[in-house]
Structure 1
């Protein structure tokens, strides 16, 4: 699988992600997700699309995000991850849309 990229925006926050096959590691601005988003709620928001499709341990995700606050950034990352998962498998779009991750 080649690297899939996607863009997500929420309020003033912008997130560009790069998804590749891997072990489930998520890095945001070259920092581990647990350090960038110390709140478990924001970590949960970011991982929601992966957990919905049960692919959390299947992909490594690198994120570049800027603008806005932490909540807006986490929701922008969530949208970008959902868009990338649809690029990988278009059949997943109805499930992600039903959960409210796709616009």
Structure 2
């Protein structure tokens, strides 16, 4: 992949959707026009995003430009991880063998259950009164 080539991929988690554009570079990560450390302040969230790079030993080899919407910070970090994993497999199909067993390519299907009509929540019921 040359320096002018850009790989793009989409990752999802709950209602969070992340679009990632990956180019060869020095490891610069920009999320929603903000720095990586500013947007994801905790080490756990930062490690979630960097995990696919560490798995395939490509730390600081690619620059990322990320646009993420919806969900909370945790879901956004996992959505970014999903997108980064997908784009790494597009760069080299051999990376799939390393990333797939870690579960980074699997879209987490768990979603919030909808509220049912005539009830206060998805599973909650109004209090029953016998008398």
* TM-score, structure 2 normalization: 0.77
The residue number in structure 2 matching 1:84 is 87
Report the Cα distance in structure 2 between the residues aligned to 1:52 and 1:30, rounded to whole angstroms.
26
Higher Cα radius of gyration: 2
Residue ranges of structure 1 left out of the alignment (5+ in a row): none
TM-score by length of structure 1 reads 0.98
Identify, as 1 or 2, the structure richer in strand. 1
The residue aligned with 1:13 is 16
Unpaired runs of 5+ in structure 2? 107-131
Deviations 1:43-89 (A, max 9, x none): 00000000111111100000000000000000000000000000000
Aligned positions, number = 103
* Structure 1 consecutive aligned stretches of length 4 or more whose deviation exceeds 4 Å: none
Q: What corresponds to 1:39 in structure 2?
A: 42
Partner of 2:27: 24
* 1:98 Cα deviation after fit: 1.1
RMSD over aligned CA atoms reads 0.6
Write the distance in 2 (CA, Å) between the matches of 1:16 and 1:99.
21
Distance in 2 (CA, whole Å) between partners of 1:22 and 1:86 is 17
Match of 1:4 in 2: 7
